[in-house]
Chains A and B, each alone.
Chain A
C-alpha cells in the first residue's frame, strides 16, 4: 500500500500564480486534512474533509480552497499565491474512529517568490 501520496513534492511559484496540490490515499479513510508547517513551528490545519463532497475550514483557511470529489482524493488550491504561503504542506487521512491516528504524506515544499 502506498498510504498517502502527495504531488508534487517541490514547487516554486511566482506571486499571483495559481496551483493545485493533490493528495491521494488508498486506505479507504473517511477523513482527510491539509496542514501547513512553517520553519520551527508546529502544523496548522488549513482545511479538512469528513467525507466525499464535504469540506470545512481549519485554523488558517484564508487564501486556500479545497475539494473532495472522490473519497480517495483531497485537492488544495491556491488561487493567487503570496509569499506568505511559502511553507511545507502536509496531507493526512484517518478513519472515523481514528484507531491508528493520522497517516501523513511526505509533504510538498512550496516556495512563492
Chain B
C-alpha cells in the first residue's frame, strides 16, 4: 500500500474550517484514500473515504487532486470536540487487513 505523509500537528480556530493535508504520491490506481480520527484515549473513528471524486458526508469533505497524489480533509466548522489525531490512509478497497496507521496529524482546535 502507498505511504502517506502528513504534518505532525496543526492548529485551527473554533468555528473556522480545518484543512488537513495528506501526500500520497505513490498511490496506485486501485487504492482508496481513507481518513480516521482518534480522540484522546478512544478507538479510532472512521470519517470518510474516496477514490478520485470529491466526497462529502455529515462529518467532513474529502478533496482529492486530479493526479490523486494528495488530498485534503476539510472539517467545515471545527469545534473543540474535533481536537484529535487524524490519520490519512491509502489502501485497496477490499482486503481491509492492509490498513496501516501512521503517526497522523494532531489537530488542536482553539477557542
Contact = CB atoms under 8 A, between A and B. Distances in A.
Interface of A: 4, 31, 33, 35, 41-45, 48, 50, 56, 58-59, 88, 90, 92, 94, 96-98, 100-107
29 contacts: A31-B96, A33-B97, A35-B101, A42-B87, A42-B102, A42-B104, A43-B44, A43-B101, A44-B101, A45-B100, A50-B97, A56-B97, A59-B100, A88-B41, A90-B43, A90-B44, A92-B43, A100-B46, A101-B36, A101-B49, A102-B36, A102-B44, A102-B46, A102-B96, A104-B43, A105-B43, A106-B42, A106-B43, A107-B43
A103 B45 CA distance: 7
A90 B43 CA distance: 7
Contact size class for B?
A: 20 to 34
Contacts of B94: 96-98
Nearest to A104: B43
Contacts of B103: 41-42
Interface of A is mostly: strand
A100 B42 CA distance: 18
Contacts of B42: 106-107
Interface in B19-75: 34, 36, 41-47, 49
B97 A107 contact: no
The 8 A-B pairs of least Cβ separation, nearest first, read A101-B46, A104-B43, A43-B101, A42-B101, A48-B97, A94-B96, A98-B96, A42-B102
A108 B42 CA distance: 10
B101 A107 contact: no
Contacts of B47: 101
Given A35-B101, A106-B43, 20 more contacts: A33-B99, A42-B87, A43-B44, A43-B101, A45-B97, A45-B100, A50-B97, A59-B100, A88-B41, A92-B43, A94-B96, A96-B94, A98-B93, A100-B46, A101-B46, A102-B46, A102-B99, A103-B46, A104-B44, A105-B43
Interface string B86-108: 01000001101101111110000
